Amino acid sequence: MKNVIALIAGMFFGGGLIISGMTNTAKVQGWLDVFGAWDPTLAFVMGGAMIPMALAWAYSRGRTPLTGGSFPARPDPKLGRNLVVGSIMFGMGWGLAGLCPGPAIASLGFGGASLWIFIAAMLVGMLAAPKVRNAMDRVVPAE
């Protein structure tokens, strides 16, 4: 049952990414081009994602999921090196490629060769991230 719910949620999420234009690299890069031909329409997509998430956090407090287990704890709001470095790297990749992992996966069925290059680079980055974090910790230990 848990996998069926995950499949349905993933289909809704992927469909929402496609309908909202998050899989259109030109639209995403237009959103990020605040000093050029800025396209503010993705602000509604992001706001439309934050509001239901805030409601979900509030609703899930003190409850358990229907499929068992527990809801994840709220993330620590503390800014740390890992969050800052990760955010910078994510933003650079998002700006250069016009895709982030969710929309890239949603685009697998209709993307071209550049999408597959992005997916390969994303996988390499995911595999390299723990090694980079360990190297950073050896140079300057995390707080």
pLDDT value of position 111: 73
The pLDDT tens digits along the chain (143 residues) read 888 988 999 899 888 888 888 888 888 888 888 888 888 888 888 888 888 888 988 888 888 888 878 888 877 788 888 888 888 888 888 888 888 888 888 888 787 788 888 889 889 988 998 898 888 888 877 66
Q: In this predicted structure, what is the pLDDT of residue 75?
A: 78
Q: Where would I find the H helices in the chain?
A: 2-20, 25-32, 42-60, 81-97, 101-106, 113-139
Model pLDDT, residue 127: 92
pLDDT at 70: 85
Residue 112: what pLDDT?
78
Q: Which residues of 26-45 are buried (b: 16+ CB within 10 A; e: fewer)?
A: ebbbbbeeeeeeebeebeeb
**pLDDT value of residue 143:** 62
pLDDT of residue 26: 85
Query: Where are the domains positioned within the chain?
Result: 2-139
pLDDT number for residue 8: 94
Nearest one of 50, 41, 51 to 19, comparing CA atoms:
41
> Quick one: pLDDT at residue 118?
86
> At residue 134, what is the residue type?
N
